[in-house]
């Protein structure tokens, strides 16, 4: 079977990880990546002779060919322009800075290439606001998808997991948001917790993807860089009680949820990052969300729990699912997510 | 009327503020404070010639008179021993380090003096686990009270406020906890959110004080020093819906709750600290909890909101209420809290 | 004697403290302050019925009278416009946001009022780049001064102290800079130390004020809010050795330098902030720089030491000195700084 | 040639990286690692079926065989006891918790095995306090070495680099120390810079290794996790001036120093960590220290500059050098460090 040809626009925090994710798929080919200036990420790639994960060469295309002399001077090979890459691929994964994606859409439309945008764009950029588990069917064969943002992607994994098993009608969330990524200097926060007006956009987004659920929530920014933590209070339909044991059993069975305990050593969000480093994961990334079993408590009939969202890498699997949907590589969410999971070695640790 | 004679054991973060709180009451006399070593707080007092708030002299008594030569060498006047102070007072406010209070209790029992302990001690140290609004009656005339901890004190204020108006049967909380006080070096956290096993003790403590409410919750430590933030989801009895407007109206009427908005400039926990500095409040303290009106959202019939807890000073008013209870200065919570509020100028800002 | 009439433009971090500083002088009158929008600082002032420090009313003038209705709606009294205030004063202390001061200068020139700008403006805005100890004479009778920035102000205090005693010819500094003030949300840094290109502007500025000294240095931003720390390596002229004891003796004698030790409890920058709170200082401020005696070490003939700069308040005394210079209230630095110090109770703690 | 057999005691932050470092050497064999409890690092290894870097199996030996049932229950294979490992190796790299190494020494002496201790132990534990560049000769054939600590190791690299070229007689340093590692919860610091008494132990240690240099310095703890920053002021012998260009040229030629600029994107300590992630380095580690070319400034005849120390991994190369010394695998520092560098791919990036 011919591999699906994929390009990645933007080689920042998300784009570089999307490139890795594509390079790991046995049924996709990473045709190239699009960069703008010689950023640290691109300099690191060049130091590795443009070889990324899995021995794959990441060929570099430029947004602005006028800047090619800067790359030449640094000895960084340039393969061609953004549009030249678009002409070679079936799907572009657009992880360019927020707002740019909407502008790129005109190019994709003109060249007739499919595209999947990240959470920073407006919903209107795409035909479908997409999540690999919760609404895979809606993405089948579409030209344009927009992925949920990192928090919403992880949150929906957990809520969808309960919803399939028990039927959920209401959730109330508290998002304890990391404020910057490791290596960021432009958007930190120092010794302050910052509020956003409620309801948080993640609750609103969840309702867009899962319209049968009423969701609301409060978001608080915190001065850390490794992983958001979300507490979720979920109410089942028809007054059904969800017990602690039932919830934990459901979470344990989900391939993209890593259930852990404080006693094992997972004391907080930084433990997942440390654990990924100890695993030898590339870029110290983790694709699974974490779920603390010792956070799961009953509140009357409702169930409450806390999850950890690895903000840099959590959307990669669901974006790869999106490629499968728009290219109709698999016709069901079950088949598509299974294929993605196998290639990303997700769920390998499940007993 | 003769003033009630009060002593304060411990002159750390809480003890120094209790001394200020007593010195501001028109019906209490601060007889003395108990110190251990020449800490920064005591050195600062000495730099002010032992004059604290309101022109009151804070006479220093020592836990260990063998250390008196150290104070003499520094020119810090010592009035006598811990036990000598106990013999002069009606009530001791015990803010000594956690665990010490239980040992001090033997002294209080022997000398027949009443005492109010802080949240660091075990409940068993006292006759009643106390909150000035939620169970004032139980404290009347007792010898030993234990105050709720800072988070629980603030949380109960808000839940009690709704309970009186609407009748609350269930709450689920997420505590976003500051991990150290300004000036702490021994218990920080750096770039990590740390989990505690659920349910949090604050939820359990709330049920002890308000046994008609079912409470649970999750606590996450965050690396900041200015004020905890708690999100609360409250369910009224009998399926009664609480609207956003009703909740806000109730909170606005409570003297110990300061309702604010992000647009006014209260962007997060550090804003309350800054505002207290701008008010010229002693030690940059605030006695009220903060409540963001733009955090209040409905979740079906339930109401969700976020509060800010100024951890260093929030328990001072309720401790002063405790003095009123054990000395039977007022017979109802309404009268007692009104007297405390007047002397601490709490609620002055209410329109 | 008639008091000197002073206005303050800007009521942010520096402006509000300049207003306090003026209100504390027995030979100056705070005629008014200039605000822009109803910030938290102005709301706090209004909550206090516009009464600031020392029982002084802080009359509010507006940059933009078109915004008066917003203040009216909040019940905040407005006295008049910026220009109306300018017409009533001898000197304006301009602490408006960086860059605005240069625009205001045109107004001051037109109205013939003297002005003192803060460190955020360009040097060219003023006749003299000023420090109360190091070049008071140059400011005498001038129309426009610009104060050194917070770090430079504190650094020069310490270097000038040694220079007067031993004659300094060279300094090399490392500035460990706090990145935000308490209450800031817009300019934080999270889990990162950020470099600036060397030499730091503070070293360059020191050479402008003290042209006989060769200075260079490196600045690193750190994610904290309470006080910069600067390490200084100073070389005396002509190969003269400065001993540890000589240096400490000189620092101890300086009224605007607070010499402390780690063993006393001054473990770091946050200790000075805590100590100011314990002193009951308004806004938890401290006018003195801190100097750790246990940081003073000899490096051959050179002397090395570490100082703490309270960034929010350190420039207030030197700015008040500036008023004395431009108004020729005192003719020497010794007399002027003594008057400022007495009114601000600086040096009171010296044995 | 037979490979040198190496064991690693302790599998924490340093021990796990020493194991990786040994597994990468073409002339060494990692016989086994010693663990205590099933920590996150060991759980991660088990999730990878005990395969570490380079396809090497990391066989696990236990400090306390009584704990073997805990490992059995988790399905983690145990190969034997600590002493059994000691009997199989030529050299033990001891990275057990500070203080334990001294106790282990008795075992090493009894079994006649060589050992290299890390910086947490006292100097007296070893025959030589060792650095691969600065005093390799002293380590030749010895039984026990102790490595310099992370800051000292990196600092000596830079000072030794200048010393070989220009002859250094004096250095004054300011250490801006990270306070915790990523994943630490037990030793953080929140919103504070903490002082240590001067001179810092790193300056004292430098003089032990390089006795011809007079060193002093001040250390300040900062609340970050990614890399210390040290500013160094170095004075050459005999009044020789070191120019900025000469210094940069020397640094550029050193394989274990990575010279960078802010404009390239290396804005601070977190940039090196991000860059290592982008390189795909295992555990996001970097063996080189960073040196900002735009921090290098002249101070009279002296040269000042700032370096970045990756605290988790910086001592690995010098420890591997130590194996070469004690086993006399190479007779000169030049040969030994070249062999270590080749296997760790250090200096690969040099033009």
Instruction: Tell me the ipTM for this assembly.
Output: 0.96
Cα B251 to Cα B247, B248, B259: the distances in Å are 6, 5, 7
How confident is the model over D168-215, as pLDDT tens digits?
Answer: 999 999 999 999 999 999 999 999 999 999 999 999 999 999 999 999
The answer to whether B27 and B57 are in contact (CB under 8 A) is no
H/E element, A161: helix A150-166
Cα C310 to Cα B278, B328, C53, C314: the distances in Å are 17, 46, 20, 6
Number of neighbours of residue C150 by Cβ within 10 angstroms: 24
- Residues from chain D that touch A258, judged by Cβ atoms under 8 A, are none
B195, B274, B298, best to mutate vs chain A, most A CBs in 10 Å: B195
Q: Which of D4, D23, D31, D150 is catalytic?
A: D150
User: Is B204 a residue whose pLDDT tops 60?
Assistant: yes
How many helices (H) and strands (E) in chain A? Answer: 12, 16
| Terminal-to-terminal C-alpha distance of chain C | 32
Tell me phi and psi for residue C233, to 5 degrees.
Answer: -115, 115
Nearest by Cα to A222 from D273, B227, B191: B191
User: Is A102 a residue whose pLDDT tops 90?
Assistant: no
State how far the Cα of B330 lies from the Cα of A170, in Å rounded to an integer: 45
User: Is B153 a residue whose pLDDT tops 70?
Assistant: yes
Q: Which pair of structure tokens corresponds to residue C38?
A: 């109803």
State how far the Cα of B341 lies from the Cα of B335, in Å rounded to an integer: 10
pLDDT of residue B121: 87
pLDDT of residue A351: 55
The answer to whether A120 and A99 are in contact (CB under 8 A) is yes
Closest CA–CA distance from residue D192 to any residue of chain B (Å): 7
User: Is B83 a residue whose pLDDT tops 80?
Assistant: yes
Nearest by Cα to C336 from C157, C90, C95, C140: C140
User: Collapsing DSSP states into helix, strand and coil, what is residue D325?
Assistant: helix
Burial of B167 (0-12, 13-18, 19+ CB in 10 A): middle
Q: Average pLDDT for residues D228-251, to the nearest whole number? A: 98
Q: Is B150 a catalytic residue?
A: yes
DSSP-derived secondary structure for B1-18: -PPEEEEEE--SHHHHHH
pLDDT of residue C350: 72
For A188, name the nearest residue in chain C, comparing CA atoms only.
C189
Q: Which residues of D lie inside 8 Å of A (Cβ-Cβ)?
A: 16, 39-41, 43-45, 47-48, 52-53, 182-185, 190-191, 226, 264-268, 270-271, 273-275, 277-280, 282-284, 348-349
Q: What mean pLDDT value characterizes chain A?
A: 96
pLDDT of residue C292: 98
H/E element, A337: helix A333-344
pLDDT of residue B36: 95
User: Is D351 a residue whose pLDDT tops 80?
Assistant: no
Q: What percent of chain B has pLDDT over 90?
A: 94
Ramachandran sector of residue C227 (left: φ over 0; alpha: ψ -120 to 50; beta: rest)? left
Burial of B239 (0-12, 13-18, 19+ CB in 10 A): exposed
Number of neighbours of residue B332 by Cβ within 10 angstroms: 12
Nearest by Cα to B207 from B256, B163, B267: B163
DSSP B283: G
Tell me phi and psi for residue D106, to 5 degrees.
Answer: -60, -40
State how far the Cα of A202 lies from the Cα of A150, in Å rounded to an integer: 9
For C192, name the nearest residue in chain B, comparing CA atoms only.
B191
> Pick from D43, D275, D283: which is nearest to A40 by CB?
D275
Q: What mean pLDDT value characterizes chain D?
A: 96
- Residues from chain A that touch B220, judged by Cβ atoms under 8 A, are 176, 229, 231, 268, 306
**Count of A–D CB contacts within 8 Å?**
95
B16-44 in b/e form (b: 16+ CB < 10 A) is bbbbbbbbbbeebbbbbbbbbebbbbbbb
For D222, name the nearest residue in chain B, comparing CA atoms only.
B190
How confident is the model over B7-51, as pLDDT tens digits?
Answer: 999 999 999 999 999 999 999 999 999 999 999 999 999 999 999
Q: What mean pLDDT value characterizes chain B?
A: 96
Tell me phi and psi for residue B214, to 5 degrees.
Answer: -90, 125
pLDDT of residue B351: 56
Query: Cβ contact (<8 Å) for C185 and A192?
Result: yes
DSSP-derived secondary structure for A267-292: -BHHHHHHHHHHHT-GGG---SEEEE
> Pick from B172, B269, B300: which is nearest to A214 by CB?
B300
- Residues from chain D that touch B274, judged by Cβ atoms under 8 A, are none
Residue B74 binned pLDDT confidence (cut-offs 50, 70, 90): very high
Which domains does chain C show, CATH number per domain? 4-148+315-343 (3.40.50.720), 150-309 (3.30.360.10)
Preceding omega of B199 cis (within 30 degrees of 0): yes
Query: Cβ contact (<8 Å) for D185 and B180?
Result: no
pLDDT of residue D120: 85
| The dihedral formed by the CA atoms of D275, D281, D283 and D287, expressed in degrees to the nearest 10 | -80
State how far the Cα of C241 lies from the Cα of C302, in Å rounded to an integer: 6
How confident is the model over B278-329, as pLDDT tens digits?
Answer: 999 999 999 999 999 999 999 999 999 999 999 999 999 999 999 999 999 9
Cα B82 to Cα A219, B73, B265, C338: the distances in Å are 47, 20, 45, 42
The answer to whether B334 and B340 are in contact (CB under 8 A) is no
CA geometry: angle A63, A65, A68, nearest 5 deg: 115
Given the structure tokens 């889990």, which residue do they identify? C191
CA geometry: angle D315, D318, D324, nearest 5 deg: 145
Q: Which residues pair with B12 in a beta bridge?
A: none
Q: Which pair of structure tokens corresponds to residue D106?
A: 């008795």
DSSP-derived secondary structure for C249-291: HHHHT-TTEEEE-TTTT--BHHHHHHHHHHHT-GGG---SEEE
Q: Which of B31, B95, B150, B162 is catalytic?
A: B150
- Residues from chain D that touch A185, judged by Cβ atoms under 8 A, are 267-268, 270
State how far the Cα of B23 lies from the Cα of B6, in Å rounded to an integer: 9
State how far the Cα of C102 lies from the Cα of C312, in Å rounded to an integer: 21
Report residues of chain C scoring pLDDT below 50.
Answer: none
Residue D334 binned pLDDT confidence (cut-offs 50, 70, 90): very high
Q: Average pLDDT for residues D222-244, to the nearest whole number? A: 97
Q: Which pair of structure tokens corresponds to residue A201?
A: 């956009």
State how far the Cα of D142 lies from the Cα of D126, in Å rounded to an integer: 9
User: Collapsing DSSP states into helix, strand and coil, what is residue A177?
Assistant: strand
The answer to whether D130 and D322 are in contact (CB under 8 A) is yes
How confident is the model over A4-50, as pLDDT tens digits?
Answer: 999 999 999 999 999 999 999 999 999 999 999 999 999 999 999 99
Nearest by Cα to D256 from D337, D330, D321, D329: D337
How confident is the model over A196-227, as pLDDT tens digits?
Answer: 999 999 999 999 999 999 999 999 999 999 99
User: Collapsing DSSP states into helix, strand and coil, what is residue A54?
Assistant: helix
How confident is the model over A142-186, as pLDDT tens digits?
Answer: 999 999 999 999 999 999 999 999 999 999 999 999 999 999 999
């Amino acid at each position: 079977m011919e591999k699906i040809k994929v390009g990645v626009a933007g080689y920042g925090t998300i784009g570089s990880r999307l490139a890795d994710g594509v390079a790991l798929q046995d049924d996709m080919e990473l045709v190239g990546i699009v960069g703008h200036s010689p950023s640290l990420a691109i300099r690191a790639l060049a130091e590795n002779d443009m070889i990324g994960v899995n021995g794959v060469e990441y060929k570099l295309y430029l947004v602005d060919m006028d800047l090619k002399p800067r790359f030449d001077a640094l000895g960084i090979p340039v393969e061609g322009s953004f549009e030249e890459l678009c002409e070679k691929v079936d799907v572009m994964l657009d992880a360019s800075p927020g707002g740019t994606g909407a502008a790129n859409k005109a190019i994709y439309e003109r060249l007739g290439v499919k595209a999947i945008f990240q959470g920073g764009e407006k919903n209107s950029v795409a035909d479908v606001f997409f999540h690999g588990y919760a609404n895979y069917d809606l993405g089948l064969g579409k030209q344009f998808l927009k992925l949920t943002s990192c928090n919403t992607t992880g949150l929906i994994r957990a809520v969808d997991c309960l919803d399939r098993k028990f039927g959920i009608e209401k959730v109330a969330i508290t998002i304890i948001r990391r404020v910057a990524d490791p290596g960021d200097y432009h958007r930190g926060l120092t010794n302050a917790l910052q509020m956003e007006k409620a309801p948080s956009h993640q609750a609103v987004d969840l309702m867009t993807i899962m319209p049968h659920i009423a969701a609301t929530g409060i978001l608080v920014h915190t001065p850390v860089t490794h992983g958001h933590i979300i507490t979720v209070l979920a109410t089942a339909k028809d007054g059904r009680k969800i017990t602690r044991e039932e919830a934990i059993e459901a979470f344990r069975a989900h391939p993209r949820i890593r259930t852990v305990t404080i006693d094992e050593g997972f004391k907080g969000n930084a433990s997942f990052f440390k654990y990924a480093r100890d695993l030898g994961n590339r870029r110290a990334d983790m694709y699974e969300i974490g779920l603390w079993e010792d956070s799961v408590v009953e509140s009357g009939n409702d169930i409450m729990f806390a999850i950890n969202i690895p903000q840099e890498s959590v959307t990669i699997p669901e974006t790869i699912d999106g490629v499968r949907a728009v290219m109709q590589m698999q016709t069901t969410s079950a088949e598509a997510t299974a294929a993605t999971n196998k290639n990303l070695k997700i769920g390998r640790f499940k007993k």
